[in-house]
């Protein structure tokens, strides 16, 4: 019992570390467009997002129940399996954060849990039907639904406001963007904080502390909410830059459309218990909104890198988790070895990230991957031209905003 108690403590702490990385990894989902359009100052934006993430953690436990009793069979799960799953998820989160790619923390966790379970008890330990209906199908549908909704919403917004203009209208859209960003943050807390609640609950069931099918205890809900809020406040500035400036260029009208569409999709999925990727939803909405304006662009080179990361998330996290599970099965020394490996890897990634610091002071600098903030890579610039939706040439001598966006 003493060994199990110590191991459970390690698993719970590791789960909260994952929750923390989830927070700063996914801050961009709620606040990238708000920051990039200047609707809010960067530090103010992440502070508001952190508070609403914490509030959202208390609104539902449906997703937590999917994680704790739906993805894998509880009877074959041990705390070692969950620890190995978290190692795979954390390392994938940090690796994609380092290169500024908005991949899915949710799928990293799912991949880690599936890989560690298969390594421990075999494929029979995974509920394939639940994985398909509540993980894989939403993974494909969410960005498509959010993207189409954002595209239509952006076009409708421009059509409604085509006879109006000026600073007053733009100020109104900025206010709407702040409100919609708050809704995304609330939705993110409702959906993503629950995943850590579910994984801790699963660990407690595996350790014999809770009976199968139990809801997360209140202390689990509180600790998961606080961890994701702290991570959100830290701000994943690298991914915020990619989502806000590297993927497309948004005006306040488009930002409002993107965030409202993404929030609607996320909240609907949370109520249905789908383990949805908020990253997929928000990225799809940003791209849809980018194409919703005449002269708008999507930088498909950046989007392609992001799609590749999405495809690799489940198998990459699963492989790392499976390897970790193999080592942890060797006994106490195996658990210690994996823990040391995790800590050393996290430290190494952090040290590499210090070579080029991205924070609230330079998050809105244009950066296209050549190592110099503010530089425009020629290949990306050509890609922009290829993916620009052409707009009619203005009759006035001076080109309008839509034409300048197409250049």
| Contact partners, residue 21, CB within 8 Å, separation at least 6 | 90, 93, 94, 97, 105, 231
Q: In the predicted model, what is the mean pLDDT of residues 172-195?
A: 79
Task: Give the global pTM.
Answer: 0.79
Phi and psi, residue 72, nearest 5°: -130, 160
pLDDT at 381 over 90: no
What SS3 state is found at 212?
Answer: coil
Q: In the predicted model, what is the mean pLDDT of residues 258-271?
A: 79
Most confident of 98-107, 111-120, 242-251: 111-120
pLDDT at 13: 93
**CA proximity to 289, closest of 338, 265, 256, 267:** 256
pLDDT at 372 over 50: no
Q: Tell me the pLDDT tens digit for each residue of 330-340.
A: 888 999 999 99
Encode burial over 321-357: b for 16+ CB neighbours within 10 A, e otherwise.
bbbbbebbeeeeebbeebbebbeebeeeeeeeeeeee
Alpha helical stretches, state H, 37-123 = 42-56, 62-69, 79-98, 105-121
173 pLDDT tier (thresholds 50, 70, 90): confident
296 pLDDT tier (thresholds 50, 70, 90): confident
Task: Output 102 or 246, whichever has higher pLDDT.
Answer: 102
pLDDT at 289 over 80: yes
């Amino acid at each position: 019992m003493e060994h199990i108690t110590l191991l459970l403590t390690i698993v719970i702490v590791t789960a909260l570390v994952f929750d923390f990385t989830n927070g700063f990894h996914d801050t961009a989902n709620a606040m990238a467009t708000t920051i990039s359009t200047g609707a809010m100052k960067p530090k103010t934006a992440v502070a508001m997002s952190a508070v609403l993430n914490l509030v959202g953690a208390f609104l539902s436990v449906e997703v937590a129940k999917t994680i704790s009793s739906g993805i894998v069979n509880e009877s074959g799960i041990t705390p070692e399996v969950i620890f190995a799953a978290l190692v795979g998820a954390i390392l994938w989160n940090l690796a994609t954060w380092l290169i500024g790619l908005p991949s899915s923390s949710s799928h990293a966790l799912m991949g880690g849990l599936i890989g560690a379970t298969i390594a421990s008890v075999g494929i029979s330990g995974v509920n394939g039907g639940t994985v398909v209906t509540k993980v894989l199908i939403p993974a494909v549908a969410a960005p498509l639904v959010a993207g189409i909704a954002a595209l239509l919403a952006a076009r409708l917004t421009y059509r409604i406001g085509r006879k109006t203009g000026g600073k007053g209208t733009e100020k109104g859209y900025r206010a709407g963007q702040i409100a919609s960003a708050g809704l995304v943050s609330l939705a993110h807390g409702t959906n993503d904080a629950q995943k850590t609640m579910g994984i801790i609950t699963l660990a407690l069931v595996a350790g014999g502390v809770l009976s199968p099918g139990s809801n997360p205890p209140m202390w689990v809900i509180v600790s998961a909410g606080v961890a994701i809020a702290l991570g959100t406040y830290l701000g994943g500035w690298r991914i915020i830059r990619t989502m806000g400036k590297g993927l497309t260029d948004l005006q306040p009208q488009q930002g409002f459309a993107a965030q409202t569409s993404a929030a609607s999709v996320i909240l609907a999925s949370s109520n249905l218990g789908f383990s949805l990727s908020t990253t997929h939803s928000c990225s799809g909405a940003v791209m849809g909104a980018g194409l919703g304006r005449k002269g708008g662009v999507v930088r498909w080179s950046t989007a392609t890198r992001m799609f590749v990361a999405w495809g690799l998330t489940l198998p990459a996290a699963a492989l790392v988790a499976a390897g970790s599970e193999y080592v942890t099965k060797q006994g106490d020394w195996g658990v210690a070895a994996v823990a040391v490996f995790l800590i050393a890897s996290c430290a190494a990634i952090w040290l590499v990230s210090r070579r080029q610091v991205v924070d609230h002071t330079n998050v809105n600098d244009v950066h296209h991957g050549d190592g110099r903030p503010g530089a425009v890579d020629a290949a990306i610039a050509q890609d922009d031209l290829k993916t620009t939706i052409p707009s009619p040439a203005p009759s006035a001598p001076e080109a309008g905003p839509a034409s300048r966006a197409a250049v």
